Amino acid sequence: MQFKSAILILALALAPLAVVRSAMADMYKSNETPKYTVERADGPIELRIYAPRLMAEVSVAGSQSQAINAGFRLLAAYIFGANEGGAKVAMTTPVTQIPGETIAMTTPVTQMARDGNWLVQFMMPSEYSLATLPKARDPNIRFVTLPANRQVVLRFSGTANARVLASKEGELRSWSRGQALTVAAGPFYYFYDAPWTLPWNRRNEVAFTLRN
């Protein structure tokens, strides 16, 4: 599948905020997702605590839509067998897209202009470690372990084009400021569905990592 738009995570709650019972999210439409607990929720906004996860990532240039498509193709080729040994790696969701200026192995990338460099990531299935993952044939593909972190996430449906993403990102920033939350990194765009999915059935998210 290819993605023409991006998604991201965002969450925190307006007072009074509902406290959500600890709930592990690890599947979406039969695909594995990152594990997280929901700390608080207010409508489409959630405060999430993410567990560590192993990611495959590639840096691509172009517009937002060009980059997500190009990055998806490179990473999909890897999981479909373009690796040493030709192993098939299970598909996970979401596909993550990050505006980036510098690519670092252990720290979040910084935001830059919409048309520029982007980081596109696939989470690797939890059965793998860095030692057991098939080696990529494409030298542009890197593998990184993301530490546990706290994110504020905004979930929405519909077509997540650049205009919509910018609007949701602004909404999330404004809401976070109103809650006196300190953003540490982002935005991150999360795409959960194939482009042929009807817009109202799509799950998209915009998110920021929060400073603890």
The answer, yes or no, to whether residue 146 has pLDDT greater than 70, is yes
Q: Which of 94, 126, 146 is the endpoint of a domain?
A: 146
Give the angle subtended at the CA of 162 by the CAs of 107 and 73, to the nearest 5°. Answer: 65
DSSP summary character for residue 173: H
Contact 181, 166 (CB under 8 A): no
Band the pLDDT of 196: cuts 50, 70, 90: confident
- Measured distance CA(126)–CA(76) in Å, rounded: 17
- Measured distance CA(95)–CA(106) in Å, rounded: 19
Percentage of residues of the chain with pLDDT beyond 90: 72
The full length of the chain comes to 212
The answer, yes or no, to whether residue 144 has pLDDT greater than 70, is yes
- Looking at the domain assignment, is residue 12 inside a domain? no
Q: Which of 146, 162, 191 is the endpoint of a domain?
A: 146
Exposure letters 11-44 (e unless 16+ CB within 10 A, then b): bbbeeeeeebeeeeeeeeeeebbbbbebbbbbeb
Q: Can you give the pLDDT at residue 67?
A: 92
Q: Can you give the pLDDT at residue 142?
A: 96
User: pLDDT (tens digit, 9 = 90+) per residue, 37-52?
Assistant: 999 999 999 999 999 9
The answer, yes or no, to whether residue 12 has pLDDT greater than 80, is no
- Looking at the domain assignment, is residue 13 inside a domain? no
The answer, yes or no, to whether residue 21 has pLDDT greater than 90, is no
Q: Can you give the pLDDT at residue 155?
A: 97
Torsions phi, psi for 193 (to 5 deg): -125, 160
120 and 151: one domain?
no
The answer, yes or no, to whether residue 9 has pLDDT greater than 70, is no
Q: Whole-number mean pLDDT of the chain?
A: 83
62 and 136: one domain?
yes
- Looking at the domain assignment, is residue 5 inside a domain? no
Q: Can you give the pLDDT at residue 109?
A: 28
The answer, yes or no, to whether residue 2 has pLDDT greater than 90, is no
The domain in which residue 131 lies consists of 53-146
> Is the pLDDT higher at 121 or at 115?
121
181 and 197: one domain?
yes
The CATH number linked to 57 is 3.20.80.10
Number of domains in the chain: 2
Q: Can you give the pLDDT at residue 26?
A: 85
Exposure letters 168-201 (e unless 16+ CB within 10 A, then b): bbebbbebbeebebebebbbbbbbbbeeeeeeee
142 and 58: one domain?
yes
User: pLDDT (tens digit, 9 = 90+) per residue, 65-87?
Assistant: 999 999 999 999 999 999 999 99
Torsion angle, alpha carbons of 109, 115, 117, 121, to 10: 70
3-state SS class at 197: coil
Beta partners for 153?
A: 46, 207
User: pLDDT (tens digit, 9 = 90+) per residue, 149-195?
Assistant: 999 999 999 999 999 999 999 999 999 999 999 999 999 999 999 87
The answer, yes or no, to whether residue 201 has pLDDT greater than 90, is yes
Whole-number Cα distances in Å, 93 to 20, 125, 205: 23, 10, 12
Indicate the helix (H) or strand (E) that contains 147. Answer: none
The answer, yes or no, to whether residue 93 has pLDDT greater than 50, is yes
- Looking at the domain assignment, is residue 171 inside a domain? yes
Name the most confidently modeled range: 14-18, 92-96, 115-119: 92-96
3-state SS class at 66: helix
> Is the pLDDT higher at 90 or at 2?
90
